[in-house]
Amino acid sequence: MKINWLKLAFAAVLAMAALRFTETATAQAAAKQKIAVVISTMNNPWFVVLGETAKARAIELGYDATIFDSQNDTAKEAAHFENLIAGGYKAVLFNPTDANGSIANVQKAKAAGIPVFCIDREINSTNAATAQMLSDSYSGCVKLGQLFVKTVGKDGEYAELLGLVGDNNTWNRSKGFHSVVDRFPGLKMVAQQSGEFDRAKGLEVMESILQAHPNIKGVFCGNDSMAMGAYQALVTAGKADVVKVFGFDGADDVVKSIADGKIVATGMQFPKKMAQQSAEFADQYIKGKRDFAQKIPVPVEIVTKENVSKYGDYGKK
Amino acid sequence: MRFTRGIIALVITAGVCWRFPLFHVVTRKTATAENAATTFNARQFAETFWTKQLPASLDKTVKAAVLLSAIQSDVATAKRNFSRSVGLSEGYFYFVSGTGRVVAVLDDEISLAVTAGSTNAEVSLQTGLIFGNTLRDGTGLLNASDYPNSQDFNDIAAALNHIVETRVLPKLRGQAKVGANISFVGCTEVDDESADLKPLKVVPIQTEAE
């Protein structure tokens, strides 16, 4: 039998090419779909928990997940959205930087066919995001306001540290608190300043408030980072036992401070619950579900010294 | 030559600025009017809701006697059959109506016995300062998803509470004499079943002395 070496070599090359093609196709089919987790800032432990939990749940559900840190900068956030749209991500779990400024980014993703699920912070739109899971900050701060009056009393001076002024949570918290406290004319707010949701800024603002208003009896802080900063300023001023501090978030260090009697109360927001649910929503969307409620309130529970043993690790034990 | 170039540059710059102005001058009066037109007016919304949408839905309540009996039998079944909740909340609301006999008049509440032969306070009509979202969320008629900015939705809660405090409660306090029969429609929020069900704490929407 005469062997045609040329034909045999050609057949071998074809077989190898076919094998290589099959391998590539199989590898592509096995490649995981990607979910982006875009967080307003990773410079705050509460948001780190939010982002890391969302990422972990997305991975558990079988996706590749990446966290993008917007550093409280809408320009950086916009760049993240450009990148994730170009990068073939299938869904975005999104903690917006600005209720109005972030809408355009969500709309871009929507136009590219990518669903966006807002977590904790909202955007002022009902037709851009697929769903928005939002802590019921207002109701939580109504309850904190009632506790504030009960603890501080119906008379006296107090101060308020606001969060970022462009964020709806800042005002929902402030309005919920004031819907109660303003009904008591004897309670006088002598200072209301932004601590930008930041511990160092909260410390700095509280120091200046104490210089101008040494007789305050309480301080309501729009988040726990500022509450910790305010408490530090009070310790330095020797007023930690006199001025009652109230926070909001349910951060671990504040929950521990409540147990130690340093801070009076906080509103537990359940970041893990929201983050996990958002990843599950994204998974459901990718698998075909489309009927999501647009705004989904997540309840806030008040943590005090009396019930603090039930809480920890950013949720209920 | 240099002068001509300068003139050309100036003309081009003027043309670009005319086509794409760097700023617009708006009179304060116009700006205020535009702002008012786009700002959500929670008080106005609450007024329309109170006078039009709500009266048409007062027959969608569960009767207090039926609800109390259901709660007595099984809290979870009563919740499943008659309550509503919002979002991921474990708390829930009842939109409830009924008639009861006044058994006590306190500073911030009026206690009613509702079931036949009862002398216990089974319903507590709230008559102090009204806070929170019980009225807004309790009827099931308003939905957070309809409001782009949650601040607007929250302002509705405060506006409805104001209506209750100024229109419902003064009349109710006048009607509340021990032994009087009072019919009511209102909303209950249950956060803590051990504290909020016995008696049912009802924020009143409508009351009548019988």
Tell me which residues of chain A have a pLDDT lower than 50. 25, 27-29
Residues comprising chain B, all counted: 210
What's B68-121 look like in SS3?
A: HHHHHHCHHHHHHHHCECCCCCCCEEEEEEEEEEEEEECCCEEEEECCCCCCCC
Peptide bond into A297 cis (omega under 30): no
**Tokens at A184, concatenated:** 């008591």
Domain assignment present for B20? no
Task: Copy the structure tokens of residue B161.
Answer: 């509470």
CATH code for position B200: 2.40.50.420
pLDDT tens figures, B82-99: 999 999 888 999 999 999
| The token pair that represents A311 in the structure block | 């809480």
Query: Is the per-residue pLDDT at B163 higher than 70?
Result: yes
**How many pairs of residues across A and B have Cβ atoms under 8 Å apart?**
74
Contact A120, A274 (CB under 8 A): yes
B183, part of any domain = yes
Q: For A45-57, write each residue's pLDDT tens digit.
A: 899 999 999 999 9
In a domain, B197, yes or no: yes
Per the domain annotation, does B166 fall within a domain? yes
Secondary structure (DSSP) of B9-31: HHHHHHHHHHHS-S-----HHHH
CA distance A235 to chain B (A): 33
Nearest CB to A295; choose among B145, B157, B161: B145
Domain assignment present for residue B202? The answer is: yes
Q: Torsions phi, psi of A63, nearest 5?
A: -110, 160
* Residue B127 falls inside a structural domain: yes
pLDDT of residue A22: 52
Residues of chain B contacting A, Cβ within 8 Å:
86-91, 129, 131-133, 144-151, 154-155, 157-158, 161
Q: Which domain holds residue B44?
A: 40-209
Q: Rounded to an integer, what distance in angstroms lies between the CA atom of residue B143 and that of residue B136?
A: 9
Contacts of B155 in chain A (CB under 8 A): 175
Q: Is residue B16 part of a domain?
A: no
A123 token code pair: 């955007």
- A110 vs B: CB within 8 A: no
Q: Assess if residue B149 is contained within a domain.
A: yes
pTM for the model: 0.82
Q: Inspect the interface and report whether the beta carbons of B155 and A175 lie closer than 8 Å.
A: yes
Q: What is the pLDDT of residue A29?
A: 46
Q: What are phi and psi of A38, to 5 degrees?
A: -105, 115
Identify whether the C-beta of residue A220 lies closer than 8 Å to the C-beta of residue A152: no
Please judge whether A126 and B86 are an interchain contact, meaning their C-beta atoms are less than 8 angstroms apart: no
Cβ partners under 8 Å of residue B174, min gap 6: none
What single-letter DSSP state applies at residue A244? E
The number of domains in chain B is: 1
pLDDT at B122 over 60: yes
